[in-house]
Structure 1
Amino acid sequence: MYIATAAFDLLLPGDSRSLKAKRSYVRPIVAALRRFEVSAAEVGALDLHGRAQLGVAVVAAEPGHAREVLDACERLVAGRPEIELLSVRRRLYGADD
């Protein structure tokens, strides 16, 4: 069993000055990520305007499959024209970790 995680740091558009506006950008991205059957949530920068951090986790039988799922998630987030993906941090945990 392998568990892969990714943390996406996002820069949101300038019009996301309120937390309500921020959520209007974050909520659809989280919903789209969940279509990959992963756990996804906003995990950081909760009270910062214009910034967000999303976390994704997937459990798989093979490490290659876990990486493929995270690759697809990263492509989805990076492909959103309204946001800028600043960084991605990934970790892969195996049965021995």
Structure 2
Amino acid sequence: MATYTGVLEFDVIVGAGAPVDSLKHKRAMLRPVLARLRRLQVAAAETDHQDLHRRALIAVATVASDPGQVQAVLDTCERQVAGEVELELLSARRRTLGPEDD
């Protein structure tokens, strides 16, 4: 059985409309966003810009035996992040790896 892995990275501004004055405040705002993503059965984490107050790179990953399922999950995650009121989505980058990608 083939396995497909999907990765989606979101470059976001944290605190859209509200000031973020510390890294602790930023992480407090990101924590519920990451929790909502994880409820979609993906791994989710802040992977870059940890030292910046207003910027974050959030990565999500999923694995499935069907590439269509991987894309559907990533589409749902992208809609979720785009709808977050405390984030401004700057860009989203997506990659899918399958058995032919050695």
- Coarse TM-score class (shorter-chain normalised): over 0.9
Asked whether the equivalents of residues 15 and 21 of structure 1 are also in contact (C-alpha less than 8 Å), the reply is: no
1:41 maps to which residue?
45
2:34 maps to which residue?
30
**Cα-to-partner distance string for 1:3-36 (whole Å, 9 max, x where unaligned):** 0000001111252120011001111111000001
Matched, 1:9 2:11: yes
One-letter code of the match for 2:83?
Answer: G
Matched, 1:55 2:29: no
Query: After the TM superposition, which parts of structure 1 deviate over 3 Å for at least 4 consecutive aligned residues?
Result: none
Q: Post-superposition shift, 1:54?
A: 0.5
One-letter code of the match for 1:90?
Answer: R
1:75 maps to which residue?
79
Aligned length: 97
CA distance in 1, matches of 2:22, 2:86: 16
Give secondary structure in 2 for the equivalent of 1:15: coil
One-letter code of the match for 2:11?
Answer: D
2:22 maps to which residue?
18
Give secondary structure in 2 for the equivalent of 1:76: helix
Matched, 1:96 2:100: yes
User: Who wins on radius of gyration, i.e. which is larger?
Assistant: 2
